[in-house]
Amino acid sequence: NAGVMQNPRHLVRRRGQEARLRCSPMKGHSHVYWYRQLPEEGLKFMVYLQKENIIDESGMPKERFSAEFPKEGPSILRIQQVVRGDSAAYFCASSQNSGTENGYTFGSGTRLTVV
Amino acid sequence: RKEVEQDPGPFNVPEGATVAFNCTYSNSASQSFFWYRQDCRKEPKLLMSVYSSGNEDGRFTAQLNRASQYISLLIRDSKLSDSATYLCAVLTSGTYKYIFGTGTRLKVLA
């Protein structure tokens, strides 16, 4: 029973390119949460999605960032025109229902480096 | 004031020592509390939940002080393998967003 799967593990992009990060939730889970961890900082909530719906994107930067969770396939976090400040570790977690009072299990993350 | 605050450390302790970390939170409506362990360049892993009555898992003890709005993690008989960053996480009633502290680094020295 695979856990939350994220890929790629490492992603290098030049400034101005696009980055696509993928997250496959645990089997049977339809809720996905994305977090970002900047160097020397804690994890910050970015967005909460259910299948085909964005529930809360209050933590997403207003520009260049978008997320989706289609009916089929993984959740995608997309960053357009990346800048050096986007370099961070991006983690996702999933749950079966909304409300996660048992704590998250995170995927192994994608480490984005913008050069 | 940050919603969740931790002393960044590092805490350097010898093997076998007992070490304790605190994590303060500002929102009195917070309802669920957790400790996570994060190794260098890895994902955070859930270590334990924190219950009002306190809970213990082997060498690890977690406690909640609602009056003073902090949680604590006590590690007894520290092992070299305990070296990591320990993150606290807080969930506010009626939300699904965990608020994480920036973590406390622990180094256990031989």
Cα separation, B83 vs B106, whole angstroms? 5
Dihedral over Cα of B8, A93, A61, A79: its sign: positive
Per-residue pLDDT, B13: 97
Q: Per-10-residue mean pLDDT for chain B, 110 residues long?
A: 90 97 92 94 93 91 94 97 96 83 95
Of B32, B44, B45, the CB nearest to A43: B44
Q: Using an 8 Å Cβ cutoff, are A86 and A112 in contact?
A: yes
A20 in B contact zone (CB under 8 Å): no
Q: DSSP class of residue A26?
A: P
User: pLDDT tens-digit profile of A46-87?
Assistant: 999 998 899 999 999 999 999 999 999 999 999 999 999 999
Per-residue pLDDT, A100: 64
Cα separation, A94 vs A98, whole angstroms? 10
Kindly indicate the confidence band of residue A111, based on its pLDDT and cuts at 50, 70 and 90.
very high
Q: How large a percentage of chain A has pLDDT more than 70?
A: 96
Judged by DSSP in three states, A11 sits in strand
Per-residue pLDDT, B28: 87
Task: Check CB contact under 8 Å for B96 and A33.
Answer: yes
Bond into B14 cis (ω within 30)? no
